[in-house]
Amino acid sequence: MKQIVFATNNPHKLDEIRAIVKGRLEVLSLADINLSGDIPETADTLAGNALQKARWVKEKTGLDCFADDTGLMVDALDGQPGVFSARYAGEHCSPADNVAKMLDEMKNETNRRARFVTVIALIEGNKETTFEGRVDGEILCQPDGDGGFGYDPIFKPEESTYSFAAMSSDEKNAISHRGRATRKFVEYILQKH
């Protein structure tokens, strides 16, 4: 089975990706390869951030790797928080802080349309490839469910009557932005190996 490094320090993302690719790819964490440090994330696009993170790991290890970046784009907030989704409520904020800020900013909005977008950047040898997944939905008025992470309690995809946080991981992975991007990425890799 092909091994590939996932350039992330986020254990939730690592668990989610491993569940999606189980039995098809062996995804190594940064801890598995004894790599630590702050991964740069300073680009102004999701693709730019994903490539920046993958390049950082590739330069330090020489190993084939991939990275992702995800953003929540809210129509009523002119596409914000976008690339700043993880730091929406400030540099050292928690996911709960981000959810609270989003609920506060959306409290008087009737247009609650939003979308999650994930871009995965793959580096194999010296070739870089990106894959995008998107799910459209809406921002709820209050949290629903206690699973998932990040904005999952307040994001309801079009394909469902409840939030990502109220779904099982299998239900979420079947329709999520990360699931969609990951399936494209896995299909691409498996065609080659």
Residue 193 pLDDT greater than 70, yes or no:
no
To the query of whether residue 69 is one of the catalytic residues in this protein, the response is yes
Residue 159 pLDDT greater than 80, yes or no:
yes
Collapse the DSSP code of 188 into the 3-class scheme (helix H, G, I; strand E, B; otherwise coil) and give the result.
helix
Residue 131 has what pLDDT? Answer: 98
Share of the chain above pLDDT 90, in %: 78
Give the C-alpha separation, 66 to 87, whole Å. Answer: 22
Give the C-alpha separation, 86 to 24, whole Å. Answer: 29
| Mean pLDDT (whole number) for 30-36 | 93
CA distances from 98 to 88, 103, 105, 170 (A): 6, 9, 11, 25
Helix crossing, 11-21 with 177-192: angle to 10°? 50
- Confidence bin at 17 (pLDDT 50/70/90): confident
Residue 172 has what pLDDT? Answer: 92
* Residue 99 in tokens: 């959810």
Tokens 């099982």 — which residue?
168
CB of 154 within 8 A of CB of 105?
no
CA distances from 83 to 41, 91, 104 (A): 9, 13, 20
Share of the chain above pLDDT 70, in %: 99
- Residue 42 buriedness (CB in 10 A; 0-12 / 13-18 / 19+): exposed
Residue 9 pLDDT greater than 90, yes or no:
no
Give the C-alpha separation, 185 to 9, whole Å. Answer: 20
Give the C-alpha separation, 165 to 151, whole Å. Answer: 8
Residue 12 pLDDT greater than 90, yes or no:
no
CB of 29 within 8 A of CB of 50?
no
Instruction: Please tell me the pTM assigned to this model.
Output: 0.90
Collapse the DSSP code of 31 into the 3-class scheme (helix H, G, I; strand E, B; otherwise coil) and give the result.
coil
Residue 96 has what pLDDT? Answer: 94
**Which is more confidently placed, 136 or 170?**
136
The chain-wide mean pLDDT, for the chain, equals: 93
Q: Which of 38, 69, 75, 170 is catalytic?
A: 69
CB of 137 within 8 A of CB of 158?
yes
pLDDT digits (tens, 9 = 90+) for 84-121: 999 999 988 999 999 999 999 999 999 999 999 999 99
Residue 24 has what pLDDT? Answer: 87
Residue 61 pLDDT greater than 70, yes or no:
yes
CB of 19 within 8 A of CB of 148?
no
- Confidence bin at 1 (pLDDT 50/70/90): confident
- Confidence bin at 148 (pLDDT 50/70/90): confident
Phi first, then psi, for residue 117 (nearest 5°) are: -130, 130
Residue 90 has what pLDDT? Answer: 93
CA-nearest of 167, 159, 116, 162 to 140 is: 162
